[in-house]
C-alpha cells in the first residue's frame, strides 16, 4: 500500500533530502510536494530538483496546485487574483470574491501553464486538491443568505451559449448543474494535459457532497476519461460529529466503491493538522489510519508531515505525537 504525507515550506534541497531520508526510514513510500503560484514563479527549477530527489529515493511523487487561484485547497496566496481582479468569482449581488472563476479564459490559460509546469517537474501524479466554487458566507456576512456564485460575464456568456437563454438571477437546478459542468470541464481540460505529459491524475473531494462547493455527483467525476485515482479527506475535526470511525468508514467505502466501478485507484487522507492534545486525538488518528489501511484503499496520506508542526496557524498542539501515532498505525511502519 502507498503510505505518504504532504510536504511543504522547505525549499532548500539539502534540508529536503534530510527529511526525505527520514521519511523513508519512518516507512513512507510516497510524498506530495505542494506547488503554489509562488513556487512556479520563483522555485521551478528547485522544485524539479526536489521531485527528482524524491523519485531517486523510490517515492511515488505527487504535486498539487496549492491554493492556486484560491479554488484549490492550501495555505498559499494567489498572485493571479491580484493581477486579474476582474476574473474573480462574482456573487449574484455583483461583488467579487476571493477566488478565480473557472470560466475565466485568463484563469484557464493560467492553470494550463501551471499544469504544463507541474508535469515538467516529473512527478508520478498531479493531485487536484479540493477544487471548489466558493460559498459566499466564507467571506461576507453582509451578503443575503441566498447569494450565490458565479454570475460573472464569462459565466453568463457561457450559460447563454449552452441554454440559449440568459442566466437566471435566482439559483436553480440549471445553475447548479451549470456550475458542476463548468468545474468538471475545467478539470478535464487540465487533466488531459497531465495525461499527455505522461503523468497520472488524482482528484480529492471534500467528504461533503455539496453542489454549492463543486461536484455533487462523484460518479460523474469518477467516470471521466482522464482520472486515475479518486481521493477524499475525511477530516473529522472539520466535518464529523462524534462518530469519527463511522465518518471515516463512509469515506473509505465511497472511494473504494467508485474506484472498483470505474477502474481507478483510491486514497484516504488522515487529518494531521489543527488537532488538540487530548487522548481522543490519538485514538482518532489511529482509528482513521487503520480504518483506511485495513480496507481496499490503495493509498493513505497524512496532511501534513510532522503533524503540520511548521505551519503555526494550523499545527496540531502536539504535532510530534500526532505524527508518531500516524506512523505507528501504518501497516508497514518502521521497526
Stretch that binds Zn ion, among 49-57, 61-69, 121-129, 143-151 (CB under 5 A): 143-151
The stretch near Zn ion (CB under 5 A) out of 47-55, 97-105, 234-242, 323-331 is 97-105
Shortest distance in whole angstroms from residue 149 CB to Zn ion = 7
Could you tell me which residues come within 8 angstroms of residue 253 by beta carbon, excluding any fewer than 6 positions away? 295
Instruction: Record the cell numbers describing residue 217, joined without a space.
Output: 455527483
| 71 sits near Zn ion (criterion: CB under 5 A) | no
C-alpha cell at 102: 473557472
Contacting Zn ion (CB under 5 A), which of 101, 191, 248, 258? 101
* Residue 175 interacts with Zn ion (CB under 5 A): yes or no: no
Any contact of residue 330 with Zn ion (CB under 5 A)?
no
Distance of CA 245 to the CA centre of its chain: 22
Q: Which of 111, 126, 152, 293: binder of Zn ion (CB under 5 A)?
A: 152
| Binder of Zn ion out of 47, 155, 175, 229 (CB under 5 A) | 155
Cβ-based neighbours of 291, under 8 Å, separated by 6 or more: 245, 248, 249, 252
Q: How far is the CB of 154 from Zn ion (least distance, A)?
A: 5
Q: Which of 32, 71, 81, 150 binds Zn ion (CB under 5 A)?
A: 150
187 binds Zn ion per the rule CB under 5 A: no
For the chain, how big is the Rg over CA atoms in Å?
A: 20
Q: Which helix (H) or strand (E) holds 277?
A: none
Q: Indicate the residue among 182 and 295 with the shorter CB distance to Zn ion.
A: 182
**Shortest gap between Cβ of 183 and Zn ion (angstroms)?**
11
E strands, the chain, in order: 2-7, 30-34, 60-64, 88-90, 96-100, 125-129, 200-205, 229-232, 265-271, 299-303
Could you tell me the three cell numbers for 30?
510516497
Would you tell me which residues interact with Zn ion (CB under 5 A)? 101, 103, 150, 152, 154-155
Amino acid at each position: 500500500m502507498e503510505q505518504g504525507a504532504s510536504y511543504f515550506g522547505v525549499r532548500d534541497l539539502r534540508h529536503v533530502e534530510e527529511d526525505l531520508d527520514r521519511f523513508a526510514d519512518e516507512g513512507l513510500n510516497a510524498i506530495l510536494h505542494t506547488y503554489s503560484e509562488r513556487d512556479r514563479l520563483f522555485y521551478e527549477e528547485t522544485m524539479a530538483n526536489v521531485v527528482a530527489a524524491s523519485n531517486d529515493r523510490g517515492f511515488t511523487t505527487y504535486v498539487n496546485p496549492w491554493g492556486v487561484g484560491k479554488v484549490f485547497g492550501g495555505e498559499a496566496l494567489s498572485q493571479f487574483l491580484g493581477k486579474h481582479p476582474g476574473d474573480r468569482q462574482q456573487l449574484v449581488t455583483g461583488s467579487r470574491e476571493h477566488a478565480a472563476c473557472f470560466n475565466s479564459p485568463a484563469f484557464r490559460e493560467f492553470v494550463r501553464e501551471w499544469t504544463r509546469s507541474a508535469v515538467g517537474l516529473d512527478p508520478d501524479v498531479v493531485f487536484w486538491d479540493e477544487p471548489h466554487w466558493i460559498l459566499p458566507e466564507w467571506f461576507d456576512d453582509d451578503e443575503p443568505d441566498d447569494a450565490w456564485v458565479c454570475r460573472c460575464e464569462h459565466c453568463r456568456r457561457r450559460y447563454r451559449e449552452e441554454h440559449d437563454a440568459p442566466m437566471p438571477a435566482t439559483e436553480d437546478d440549471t445553475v447548479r448543474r451549470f456550475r458542476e459542468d463548468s468545474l468538471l470541464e475545467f478539470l478535464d481540460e487540465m487533466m488531459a494535459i497531465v495525461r499527455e505529459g505522461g503523468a497520472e491524475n488524482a482528484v480529492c473531494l471534500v467528504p461533503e457532497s455539496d453542489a454549492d462547493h463543486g461536484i455533487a455527483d462523484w460518479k460523474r467525476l469518477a467516470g471521466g476519461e482522464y482520472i486515475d485515482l479518486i481521493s477524499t479527506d475525511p477530516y473529522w475535526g472539520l466535518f464529523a460529529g462524534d462518530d469519527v470511525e463511522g465518518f471515516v468508514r463512509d469515506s473509505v467505502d465511497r472511494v473504494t466503491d467508485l474506484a472498483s466501478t470505474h477502474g481507478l485507484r483510491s486514497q484516504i487522507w488522515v487529518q494531521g493538522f489543527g488537532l488538540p492534545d487530548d487522548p481522543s486525538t490519538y485514538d482518532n488518528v489511529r482509528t482513521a489510519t487503520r480504518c483506511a489501511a485495513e480496507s481496499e484503499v490503495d493509498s493513505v496520506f497524512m496532511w501534513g508531515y510532522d503533524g503540520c508542526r511548521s505551519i503555526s496557524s494550523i499545527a496540531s498542539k502536539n504535532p510530534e505525537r500526532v505524527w508518531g501515532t500516524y506512523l505507528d498505525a501504518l501497516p508497514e511502519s518502521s521497526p
